[in-house]
């Protein structure tokens, strides 16, 4: 998706790093988010729109150039606490093929994990986070497969999703933001690079 800033933004501001809240602001980042009522209030609708615009903009190399003074680290997902709101919402965007337009987008309202596998997976390159400025290295173990219930705002319907691998890892990362947790909480403090032989590398 190539964003047209005059037509495609879902709210009035160009996304900026100034929107982001960091782990140095635990009053929000470490606070548990609350479920929101549907239909969304005007305030909460603005939040989901900002989450969508931030991720889409951050993934657009024509608009978000590395030489920009306010360059955004490209995001796959962003949760509401990361822009200062302890509401149980996040947006994730998987751009598989720019040329063919193969993209999946999920604007999740009140997401809840209803089941997860015992099988563990991890990202080989580790995880990162826009709310964590330090590059904290280590293996982040997560469930390989999860079941999710939520209201999907873009399609305006309740969804029940079964996710595996990379999808599941991204969703767990974002859902944990809404629980006041960060990815590095899951890294083994005594042995950051520990990998069990049964874990799956993604």
Q: Is 67 a catalytic residue?
A: no
Q: Residues 6, 27, 127, 174: which is the catalytic one?
A: 174
pLDDT category of residue 101 using cuts at 50, 70 and 90? low
Contacts of 46 (CB under 8 A, 6+ apart): 11
CA 159 from chain centre, in angstroms, equals 18
Domains, the chain, ordered by start: 17-201 (3.90.45.10)
Q: Over pLDDT 90: what percentage of the chain?
A: 92
Residue 41: HSE in the Cβ half-sphere, 13 Å Cα cutoff: 6
Is 173 annotated to bind a ligand? Reply is yes
- 177 in a known ligand binding site: yes
Taking only the tens place, the pLDDT of each residue in 111-165 is 999 999 999 999 999 999 999 999 899 999 999 999 999 999 999 999 999 999 9
* 129 assigned ligand-binding residue: yes
Burial classification of residue 57, based on how many CB atoms lie within 10 Å of its CB (0-12 exposed, 13-18 middle, 19 or more buried):
buried
Higher pLDDT among residues 96 and 147, named by residue: 147
What pLDDT was estimated at residue 102?
85
């Amino acid at each position: 998706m190539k964003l047209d800033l005059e037509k495609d933004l879902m709210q009035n501001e160009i996304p900026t790093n100034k929107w982001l809240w960091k782990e140095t602001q635990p009053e929000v980042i470490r606070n548990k988010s609350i479920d929101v009522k549907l239909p969304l209030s005007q305030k909460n609708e603005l939040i989901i729109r900002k989450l969508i615009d931030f991720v889409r903009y951050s993934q657009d190399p024509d608009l978000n150039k590395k030489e920009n003074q306010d360059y955004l680290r490209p995001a796959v997902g962003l949760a509401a606490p990361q822009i200062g709101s302890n509401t149980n919402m996040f947006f994730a965007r998987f751009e598989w093929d720019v040329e063919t337009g193969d993209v999946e987008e999920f604007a999740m309202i009140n997401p809840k994990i209803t089941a997860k596998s015992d099988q563990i997976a991890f990202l080989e390159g580790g995880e990162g986070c826009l709310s964590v400025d330090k590059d904290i290295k280590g293996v982040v173990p997560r469930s390989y497969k999860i079941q999710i219930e939520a209201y999907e705002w873009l399609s305006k319907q309740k969804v029940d999703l079964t996710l595996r691998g990379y999808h599941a890892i991204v969703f767990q990362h974002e859902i944990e933001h809404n629980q006041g947790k960060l990815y590095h909480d899951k890294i083994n403090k005594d042995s950051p690079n520990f990998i069990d032989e049964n874990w799956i590398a993604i």
